[in-house]
Amino acid sequence: MDITFNSTFNDENNAMFKDVDQTIRDVYKRNMRGFISAKLNRFKSGSVISDFTVMTTIVDNEEIAKAKDDIVSTIGEKYKIRFTCLNNTIFGNGQVNEIVVANCKSDEVGYKTAICQENGTFSVRENNCVLKEIENLFLLSQNFLETAGVLTSNGAKASWDVLNTNLTKNENSVFLGTFETISNFLTNDFFDIETPSIILNKTPVNNSVNNSFNLNSSVLIDIPASEASFNSITIITFDSLNNVLPARNSSSLNDSVNSINGKVVLVKVNGTIKNVTFSFAVLNKTLGNPQCVFWNFSLFDGLGGWDDNGCELQSDENGTVTCHCNHLTSFSILMSPFIPDAFRAALDFITYIGVGISMGCLVVCLIIEMLVWNAVTGNNTSYMRHVSIVNIALSLLIADIWFIIGAAISEYDQKNVPACSAATFFIHFFYLALFFWMLVSGLLLLYRTVMVFSHMSKPAMLAFSFFLGYGAPIIIAVITIAVTAPVKEYIRDNDGVCWLNWTESMALLAFVIPALTIVVINLLILIVVLYKMLTRGVGDVTQPDERNAVVVIARCLAILTPFFGTTWGLGVGTMTNPENLGIHIVFAIFNSLQGLFILVFGTLLDKKIREALTGMSQVSSNRTRTTNATTSSTSGLGFFRIRRRNIFNISAAPTYSTTGASETFINT
């Protein structure tokens, strides 16, 4: 209480003592269920501080907080109190200069802190609230890095050693290039994701000052102000990439005398950079003769290796190696088993960038469908349309993932047959599922236009759709592997590709025939539907509340059916005529557009979906106008086992109007 202290206040017969004592007793009695007693002990000097004791059988933090606010309000009606921040809807009550912590809204995670000011208002000091949807996306990103981290773990080293022994393949370069590709599509916002093996950090930079980045005390990056010409930097730190990348350098393919002796760091900037300094903590101090290197994808005819061009050693002391590089360039050359070396760069660039874009579009498609599901599935036709598009997108996404896994497994001379067979089975199954769900969409369109007044129940439609969409593909895939695997004619064995055999058993026909048959059936369905629409009008061949869904299905099938048919017709051409470079390039382009076409024609061009998204964005912008989300973390990298030489590396990144590299050093 803001009253000059007087020793007479502590006389139990004093009027103020009695009044405050009774007030404390009354307030806690009405606010706490297990109340026993409350007693004012004394007043203390310092604007008169009340010291009291409360006894209760039940300790409930919410009840205590409520009683605290109640007693402040009650006593404040009689005496002047130095609690100037009262009854704030978010932070409650607070004393001058007191810092208060509050929870976020129900649709957010995190917390807020504020300080009580002299003017009786709270000033927000920290706001860590973030929408749950954004937090979920963050967790998905973290899950991806955790999965990738498993591939770099010590347990995966034996598999990578097998892959690295074949000089005609460069799966390790492809693996590293995937991260560099992903970094091109990150937003300019700040974020920091830490997993046990990989750290991903993106930070805005100020070009007018020196920029320094300390990565978990094991790698330090310094960029002079005059050398920076970009507004953000992405840094990916690998804890154990030594299990993936061999220690060969530009002078020799022999990696038995080298050792990666520092963490591997991938650096990407959305601009140019001329000079950068890296300081690495040494992992094994018994090794000597360090070299500063970066991963050059073009070495050894595309095999890839560590290169010291443009990088030099500055110092090696106190367990720290400092390297200076005059570039962050990237030479990302990815291989394909079917074409000459001269064309691999262009085709692999299209393939891997395209598949990455396609997978990204499919993920976006699934997220949008999840967000707008309740708003766009008002009738059975709309519901089944969205069930179909979700399963089409999901099937293609999983098929693409298994395609990448199959590419990692494939080897010309040393093939893991069981693993390759498993990858082939799932690729076969999910690509078939893609086409059979397209057939489900076609049959749904035919059903709603030809049999306008017939009404099949939703459970029956779902049962039929899932049986056809997944049941038929699993039957075909199981029969194919059961017939051809026992005689070792299930997968291709002459070119190191994890895919259905063509030359011996023609198992590839188990994919080609169903896929192209469905393309023909859907084209016939489209002809019938378009004929009815043109002769009778859309309104006469559909129920009024189903017209939008029917039109969207028709438009989607009219575009996706010939597109998928053309794409996989070209895909068959790459298998039957592998020397034709033109077929490879066109197939790679078409294949890369599949996810984008599904997103655009299956989702974004649906008026109902756009309306739902617009409504959600307006609501979301109103809710988050004052929200500022931040996250933080750190992490590190690992070392490469060997006897005589150390390596500190720097790996290069692709230059799609950006610059980047993965760096480390080598001891030789």
278 vs 114, higher pLDDT: 114
Examine the domain organization and report whether 181 and 197 are in the same domain. Answer: yes
Instruction: Say if 346 falls within a structural domain.
Output: no
Q: Phi and psi at residue 602, in whole multiples of 5°? A: -90, -20
Mark which of 542, 557, 575 sits at the end of a domain. Answer: 542
Q: Which domain holds residue 34?
A: 7-131
Instruction: Say if 641 falls within a structural domain.
Output: yes
Examine the domain organization and report whether 225 and 98 are in the same domain. Answer: no
Q: What is the pLDDT of residues 358-403, one digit of tens each?
A: 899 999 999 999 999 888 887 788 888 889 999 999 999 999 898 8
Examine the domain organization and report whether 112 and 203 are in the same domain. Answer: no
| Cα dihedral 183→189→195→199 (10° resolution) | 50
We report the CATH number of the domain holding residue 645 as 2.60.220.50
Q: Which of 43, 35, 49 is closest to 11 using CA atoms?
A: 43
Instruction: Say if 578 falls within a structural domain.
Output: no
Q: Which of 187, 299, 286 is closest to 247 using CA atoms?
A: 299
Sign of dihedral through CA atoms 386, 389, 394, 397? negative
Q: Which of 201, 197, 194 is closest to 156 using CA atoms?
A: 197
Examine the domain organization and report whether 120 and 204 are in the same domain. Answer: no
Instruction: Say if 551 falls within a structural domain.
Output: no
We report the CATH number of the domain holding residue 535 as 1.20.1070.10
Q: What is the pLDDT of residues 286-328, one digit of tens each?
A: 666 777 778 777 776 667 777 777 778 888 788 788 888 776 5
Instruction: Say if 237 falls within a structural domain.
Output: yes
Instruction: With beta carbons less than 8 A apart as the criterion, state whether 47 and 3 touch.
Output: yes
Please give the average per-residue pLDDT across 93-122, as a whole number.
80
Mean pLDDT score of the chain = 73
Q: What angle do CA 300, 303, 307 make, to 5 degrees?
A: 60
Strand 647-652, strand 290-296: pairing: parallel
Global pTM?
0.44
What's the half-sphere exposure (Cβ side, CA atoms, 13 Å) at 652?
27
47 vs 273, higher pLDDT: 273
Instruction: Say if 459 falls within a structural domain.
Output: yes
Examine the domain organization and report whether 400 and 531 are in the same domain. Answer: yes
What's the total number of domains in the chain?
3
State the burial class of residue 133 (Cβ atoms within 10 Å of its Cβ: 0-12, 13-18, 19+). Answer: middle
Examine the domain organization and report whether 76 and 214 are in the same domain. Answer: no
Instruction: Say if 239 falls within a structural domain.
Output: yes
| Measured distance CA(535)–CA(450) in Å, rounded | 13
Examine the domain organization and report whether 151 and 97 are in the same domain. Answer: no
Instruction: With beta carbons less than 8 A apart as the criterion, state whether 354 and 589 touch.
Output: yes
Examine the domain organization and report whether 208 and 287 are in the same domain. Answer: yes
| Measured distance CA(355)–CA(203) in Å, rounded | 27
Strand partners, 94: 85
Range in 309-318, 470-479, 611-620, 656-665 the model is least confident about: 656-665
Mark which of 68, 97, 131 sits at the end of a domain. Answer: 131
Examine the domain organization and report whether 176 and 49 are in the same domain. Answer: no
Examine the domain organization and report whether 326 and 187 are in the same domain. Answer: yes
Examine the domain organization and report whether 297 and 424 are in the same domain. Answer: no
Tell me, what DSSP letter sits at residue 667? E
| Measured distance CA(474)–CA(246) in Å, rounded | 39
Residue 425: what pLDDT?
94
| Measured distance CA(272)–CA(659) in Å, rounded | 6
Q: What is the pLDDT of residues 198-238, one digit of tens each?
A: 777 777 666 655 667 766 656 777 777 655 556 677 777 77
